[in-house]
């Protein structure tokens, strides 16, 4: 008598009127065109632990890796037992399994030159390249020309060693020249068109531009929004940074929202000189990477930029702070993005104050209890 098991690494979806079934382990997707298959999955699940009796629907379910019989069922249960329960919610498990690289076509390349597949793919999407230079509508605000004096004088080692997350800002104004340097060095187009020209001469069409941090596919999917709290010679407000022009577009005058609430009551942040909200233009990534794995790239892009910001701001003698803890929809609203094609991922802060990991609120609570 064979043992059987329904593979739980699956997800059932409804999209554009079509029910789908995904095997998250293999990445294979099936359309459920006949509800008998769904009924059969229900039935098998309900009769778990009972002897297996086959039904006509089972052939396809076995082929899809959803119904496991005999040795496969035993193997599956053994792995489940060894792993123990997944520690987060199910959506994270779907993301984890679903974003793994398991495309059989990639591992089974038979071409002698292994780059052939990639080059052919790039050729196939070249015509539909999106515009990567993002310009939001609004009043254009010039920034002072950037200069590298501060980072030239500050050693990399010193910046690495002195960087610390500080949560005690004093609200002091940050000079616009410093903000301008930080924006350019972290988010500006630091490599000029000669780089593009060199590659064009070798037959490569470059669609992106380069910043000081690496970026998935050179798409520069991350946008930077400046929340100017206390910057000398810049009106308080919300601005978008034009990376390719080193200029700001004003999106809002003043801060017309409860920043502390948006940041889940990390209220010490409002005493920084400025915040930078980093969003990702998912639609840029969709163009080149049509798989959920690219969501990882969006997050990693932001991580690279965040560290560059930390080091550059430290070299300008600013204290830095960073957070991924905020109310997404409210933050998207603040910087006027849709939260669908473009979404907020991380917030950085720079300002003056004490280099103290403890916020004034926490210090107060500690004092009250001692
Ligand atoms: C991905 C990520 C998310 C973070 N989120 C928060 C946060 O929500 N609030 C906060 O105060 N610090 C946050 N931090 C800062 C960490 O708490 C801090 O880096 C850590 O305590 C180590 O301290 P250090 O940065 O001074 O080395 C975050 C850091 C990273 C890398």
Confirm or reject: Cβ of 165 under 6 Å from ligand 1: yes
pLDDT tens profile 177-203? 999 999 999 999 998 777 777 888 888
User: Is beta strand 222-228 parallel, antiparallel or unpaired with respect to 237-242?
Assistant: antiparallel
Nearest CA to ligand 1 atom 17: 165
pLDDT tens profile 116-164? 888 888 888 888 888 888 999 999 999 999 999 999 999 999 999 999 9
* Residue 1: pLDDT over 90: no
pLDDT tens profile 240-261? 999 999 999 999 999 999 999 9
Nearest CA to ligand 1 atom 25: 165
Give percent helix, percent strand, percent coil of the chain, each to the nearest 5: 40, 20, 40
Nearest CA to ligand 1 atom 7: 323
pLDDT, position 206: 76
**Alpha carbons 267 and 50: distance in angstroms, whole number:** 57
Domain(s) labelled CATH 3.40.109.10 in the chain stretch across 130-365
Query: Counting atoms of ligand 1 from 1, which one is nearest the CA of 164?
Result: 26
3-state secondary structure of 33: coil
Closest CA to 258 of 246, 269, 247, 250: 269
pLDDT, position 178: 98
Confirm or reject: Cβ of 325 under 6 Å from ligand 1: yes
Query: Counting atoms of ligand 1 from 1, which one is nearest the CA of 359?
Result: 11
Confirm or reject: Cβ of 303 under 6 Å from ligand 1: no
pTM of the model: 0.94
* Residue 79: pLDDT over 90: yes
* Percent of the residues in the chain that have a pLDDT greater than 70, as a whole number: 98
Nearest CA to ligand 1 atom 18: 165
CATH 3.40.50.11890 correct for 130-365 = no
């Amino acid at each position: 008598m064979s043992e059987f098991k329904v593979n739980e690494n699956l997800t059932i979806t409804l999209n554009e009127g079509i029910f789908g079934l995904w095997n998250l382990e293999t990445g294979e997707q099936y359309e459920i065109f006949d509800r008998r298959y769904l009924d059969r999955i229900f039935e098998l699940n309900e009769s778990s632990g009972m002897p297996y009796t086959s039904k006509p629907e089972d052939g396809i379910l076995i082929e899809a890796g959803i119904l496991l019989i005999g040795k496969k069922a035993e193997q599956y249960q053994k792995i489940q037992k060894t792993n123990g329960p997944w520690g987060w919610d199910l959506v994270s498990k779907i993301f984890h399994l679903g974003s793994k690289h398991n495309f059989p076509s990639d591992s089974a390349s038979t071409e002698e030159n292994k780059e052939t597949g990639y080059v052919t793919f790039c050729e196939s999407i070249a015509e539909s390249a999106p515009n990567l230079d993002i310009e939001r509508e609004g009043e254009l605000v010039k920034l002072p020309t950037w200069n590298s004096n501060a980072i030239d004088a500050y050693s990399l080692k010193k910046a690495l060693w002195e960087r610390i997350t500080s949560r005690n800002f004093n609200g002091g104004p940050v000079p616009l020249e410093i903000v301008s340097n930080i924006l350019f060095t972290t988010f500006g187009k630091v490599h000029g068109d000669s780089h593009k020209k060199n590659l064009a001469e070798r037959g490569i069409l470059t669609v992106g531009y380069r910043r000081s941090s690496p970026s998935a596919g050179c798409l520069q999917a991350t946008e930077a929004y400046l929340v100017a709290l206390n910057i000398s010679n810049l009106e308080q407000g919300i601005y978008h940074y034009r990376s390719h022009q080193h200029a700001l577009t004003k999106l809002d005058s003043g801060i017309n929202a409860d920043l502390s609430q948006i940041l889940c009551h990390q209220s010490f942040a409002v005493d920084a000189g400025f915040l930078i909200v980093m969003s990702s233009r998912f639609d840029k990534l969709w163009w080149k990477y049509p798989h959920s794995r690219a969501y990882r790239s969006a997050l990693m892009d932001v991580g690279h930029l965040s560290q560059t910001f930390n080091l550059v701001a430290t070299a300008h003698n600013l204290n830095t702070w960073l957070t991924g803890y905020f109310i997404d929809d409210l933050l998207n609203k603040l910087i006027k993005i849709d939260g669908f094609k473009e979404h907020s991922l991380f917030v950085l802060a720079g300002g003056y104050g004490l280099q103290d990991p403890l916020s004034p609120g926490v210090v107060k609570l500690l004092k009250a209890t001692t």
